[in-house]
Amino acid sequence: MPGMKQTAKQVYDWFERRLQVEGPIKDAVLHKVPRNTASWWYVFGSAAFTLLMLQIVTGILLALVYVPSAAEAWNSLNVLNHQVPLGWFLRAVHGWGSNFMVAVVFIHMAQVFLFGAYKFPRELTWTVGVFLLLMTLGMAFTGQVLRFDQDAYWGLGIGVFILSRVPWMGGGLVHLLLGGPTIAGATLSRFFALHVFVIPGTLLVLVAMHVWMVLKLGINEWPMPGRLVRKSTYTAEYNKLAHEDGIPFVPGAFWKDLIFSGAVLAAVAVCAAVFGPSGPGGQPDPSITQTVPKPDFPFLWIYAVLSYLPPSMETPFILIAPILMIAGLLAVPFVAGEGEKSWHRRPVAVLALTSVAVAWAVFTHLATYTPWSPHMSAWSGDPLPVQYLRDATPLVRQGAVIFQAKQCRNCHSIGGLGGERGPALDAVATRMTLDQIRYKVVTGGGNMPAYGKNLSPPEIEALVSFLETLHPANEQPAIDAAQQATQSNAAPAPASGAGGP
Partner 1 sequence: MSDQSDNPHKQSTGPDIETASRLASDREGPAIVSRRWLLLKAGIALNGLVGLALAVPIVRYLLAPVRKDDSYKSWISLGAADSFPVGETRLVSFKNPWTQPWDGETDNVAAYVRKEGASQFTVFAINCAHLGCPVRWFPQSQLFMCPCHGGVYYADGSRASGPPERGLFTYDYKIAGGQLQIDAGQMPSLSNTAKLVNIPTPGQNGSAKDGDCPCRG
- DSSP assignment of 380-414 equals HHSPPPGGGTTT--HHHHHHHHHHHHTTGGGT--B
Query: From the CB of 179, what's the least distance to partner 1, in Å?
Result: 5
Cβ neighbors of 287 (< 8 A, separation 6 or more) are none
Query: From the CB of 115, what's the least distance to partner 1, in Å?
Result: 33
Closest CA to 101 of 67, 50, 60: 50
DSSP H or E run through 145: helix 123-146
Beta-sheet pairing, 32-34 with 246-248: antiparallel
Residue 102 vs 160, nearer CB to partner 1? 160
How many angstroms separate the CA atoms of 160 and 299, rounded? 16
Query: From the CB of 461, what's the least distance to partner 1, in Å?
Result: 17
* Contact stretch for partner 1 (CB under 8 A) within 30-38, 192-200, 246-254, 283-291: 283-291
Among 14, 22, 30, 171, binds partner 1 (CB under 8 A): 171
According to DSSP H, which parts of 179-299 are helical? 185-193, 199-217, 234-244, 249-252, 254-275
Which 136-155 residues touch partner 1, going by CB under 8 A?
A: 153-154
Query: From the CB of 50, what's the least distance to partner 1, in Å?
Result: 32
Among 52, 145, 162, 207, binds partner 1 (CB under 8 A): 162
How many angstroms separate the CA atoms of 166 and 174, rounded? 10
**DSSP code of residue 258:** H
Q: Establish how many alpha carbons lie within 13 A of residue 311's alpha carbon, considering only the half-sphere containing its beta carbon.
A: 2
Among 161, 197, 275, 334, binds partner 1 (CB under 8 A): 161
229, 341 Cβ separation under 8 angstroms: yes
Which 340-399 residues touch partner 1, going by CB under 8 A?
A: 372-374, 376, 379
Query: From the CB of 325, what's the least distance to partner 1, in Å?
Result: 19
Which 91-130 residues touch partner 1, going by CB under 8 A?
A: none
Residue 75 vs 433, nearer CB to partner 1? 75
Query: From the CB of 230, what's the least distance to partner 1, in Å?
Result: 29
* Contact stretch for partner 1 (CB under 8 A) within 53-61, 193-201, 281-289, 340-348: 281-289
Among 232, 290, 456, 496, binds partner 1 (CB under 8 A): 290
Among 114, 158, 392, 395, binds partner 1 (CB under 8 A): 158
Which 450-489 residues touch partner 1, going by CB under 8 A?
A: 450-454
3-state class (DSSP) for residue 482:
helix
Residue 346 vs 440, nearer CB to partner 1? 440
Residue 179 vs 415, nearer CB to partner 1? 179
409, 419 Cβ separation under 8 angstroms: yes
DSSP H or E run through 107: helix 87-114
- DSSP assignment of 301-319 equals HHHHHHHHS-HHHHHHHHH
Cβ atoms within 10 A of the Cβ of 450, count?
Answer: 13
| Per-residue interface string for the shown chain with partner 1, residues 54-93, x marking contact by CB under 8 A | ---------------xxxxxx-------------------
Residue 358 vs 450, nearer CB to partner 1? 450
Cβ neighbors of 120 (< 8 A, separation 6 or more) are 229, 231, 234, 333, 337, 338
Residue 98 vs 404, nearer CB to partner 1? 404
With CB under 8 A, what is the number of residues at the site for partner 1? 77
Query: From the CB of 289, what's the least distance to partner 1, in Å?
Result: 4
Among 170, 252, 276, 501, binds partner 1 (CB under 8 A): 170
Query: Taking CA 321 as the corner, what is the angle to CA 316 and CA 323, rounded to the nearest 5 degrees?
Result: 110
Length of the chain: 501
Query: From the CB of 28, what's the least distance to partner 1, in Å?
Result: 17
Which 392-451 residues touch partner 1, going by CB under 8 A?
A: 405-408, 410-411, 421, 442-451
Query: From the CB of 220, what's the least distance to partner 1, in Å?
Result: 27
225, 345 Cβ separation under 8 angstroms: yes
Helix, strand, coil tally for the chain in percent (to 5): 65, 0, 30
What's the gap between Cα 71 and its chain centre?
29
User: Binding to partner 1 by residue 260, rule CB under 8 A?
Assistant: no
| Per-residue interface string for the shown chain with partner 1, residues 174-213, x marking contact by CB under 8 A | xxx-xxxxxxxxxx--------------------------
In this structure, which long-range contacts are made by residues 482-488, counting pairs with CB atoms below 8 Å and at least 24 apart in sequence? 483/433
Query: From the CB of 257, what's the least distance to partner 1, in Å?
Result: 30
Query: From the CB of 193, what's the least distance to partner 1, in Å?
Result: 11
| Per-residue interface string for the shown chain with partner 1, residues 301-320, x marking contact by CB under 8 A | --x--xx-x-xx-xx-----
What's the gap between Cα 267 and its chain centre?
20
Query: From the CB of 66, what's the least distance to partner 1, in Å?
Result: 14
